[in-house]
Amino acid sequence: MDQLTAAGKSKMRIANSIFFFVSGFGYSSWASRIPSIKHQLNLNEAQLGLVLFAMPVGLMLTMPLTAKMIKHFSSRTMMLIGALAFSLVLCLPGFMAYMWQLIIVLFFVGSTRNILGLSMNSQAVGIQALYDKSIMVTFHGIWSLAGFGGAAVGYLMVLFNVAPSYHLLGVGIAMLILSAIFYPSTYDYQPAETPDKSVFSMPDKHLLKFSLICFASMACENTLYDWSGVYFEKVVHATKSFAEAGFVVYMVTMTIGRFAGDRVVSAIGIKKVLTYSSMLVLAGLLVSVFLPYTLTVYLGYAMIGMGVSCIVPLIFSMAGKSKTMNSSQALAAISTVGYLGFVIVPPIVGFIAQAANLQIAFFVVAAFAAMMIWMVSKIEDVPVVS
């Protein structure tokens, strides 16, 4: 690693950033069209919750196996496989005519997204080790920048009445091309060998606190991905364009937070960043619930976006330094717990909304932000770069 030139490191960093871009742009493109597809298939809130459940189920079922595959085939190889498969299945949701078809497609969107996500984060941990400064949050900043781009394009697609089928097909093809172009420049390395663990490895005692923080953050983050537009339509009673704009506000503030994150961490430390971030998420959710007007919900979404921006990247960075697991195993162990927030919470939001309303559902989600504040108080402040 010492023989790598600055230009060589930069080239690998850019290549890995492209895969974060593919993941973020692809996922937010899908999320930006959820309200359109909901109307296209005439789904109610409970049905949408069931449909959205398919994606995290696919993600969770492949999580432990992905860690094993990364160990045997390298994160570099699995990242390419994940990117290509994710891009292909992303082409399909807009063409589905029945709810059951969409459920099957989203299951594979979730499973392929997991392969891409876990392998690109493992790559990021390896590249982080080549630098003497924090860069991990910036990788996730690229993801958010791509997410903002995907949300903005989605907004334009809605504005000009472009069907979700053609929109997502175009995005999938573009992501396939990007992945193929930049794969040769990615980092070819193998994480340090550690004793084999069972396929369904859970985080050890040291990592469990981080896992629970990750769980709560992902619960809040994915709730906004899946329900931000519907919240505007059902609670704020805004038009589709205002609903899409709300998602853009969320993605923009998350992007700003992630690009500023490494500097803020260097200035005040990880624990303070995690504490203030959790407080912002809680405040943003409460503002959105108790002041359900266009401008105030925009403000609430901005606070949530800024709040969740650094939490998961910093948790992943800490997991990559585990002494009992290699980086891919540690990331998989934390993600196994963390992504339960994706599996459980957004679909429950749909069921609560159907039984009561979305304001009550968002208030329930705020409890996870409160849990984050408490869990962060239990961890020790550690440097990002050791």
- Answer whether 0.85 is exceeded by the pTM: no
Which of the pair, 17 or 320, is modelled with greater confidence? Answer: 17
User: 313-335, pLDDT tens digit by residue?
Assistant: 888 877 666 655 666 667 777 87
pLDDT over 50 (residue 365): yes
Residues 6+ apart with CB under 8 A from 3: none
Alpha helices (H) along the chain? 6-32, 34-40, 45-73, 75-90, 99-128, 136-159, 164-182, 205-231, 240-268, 270-290, 294-308, 311-319, 327-338, 340-355, 358-376
Query: Which amino acid, residue 171?
Result: V
Query: Which amino acid, residue 352?
Result: I
pLDDT band at residue 296 under the 50/70/90 scheme = very high
Residues 6+ apart with CB under 8 A from 270: 314, 318, 381, 382, 383, 384
pLDDT at residue 200, rounded to an integer: 47
> What interhelical angle do 205-231 and 294-308 show, nearest 10?
160
What is 158-195 written as a DSSP string? HHTT--HHHHHHHHHHHHHHHHHHHGGGS----PPP--
| Nearest-angstrom CA–CA distance, 141 and 310 | 9
139 φ, ψ (degrees, to nearest 5): -55, -45
pLDDT over 50 (residue 199): no
Closest CA to 194 of 30, 25, 359, 323: 323
pLDDT over 90 (residue 291): yes
pLDDT band at residue 281 under the 50/70/90 scheme = very high
| Nearest-angstrom CA–CA distance, 133 and 129 | 9
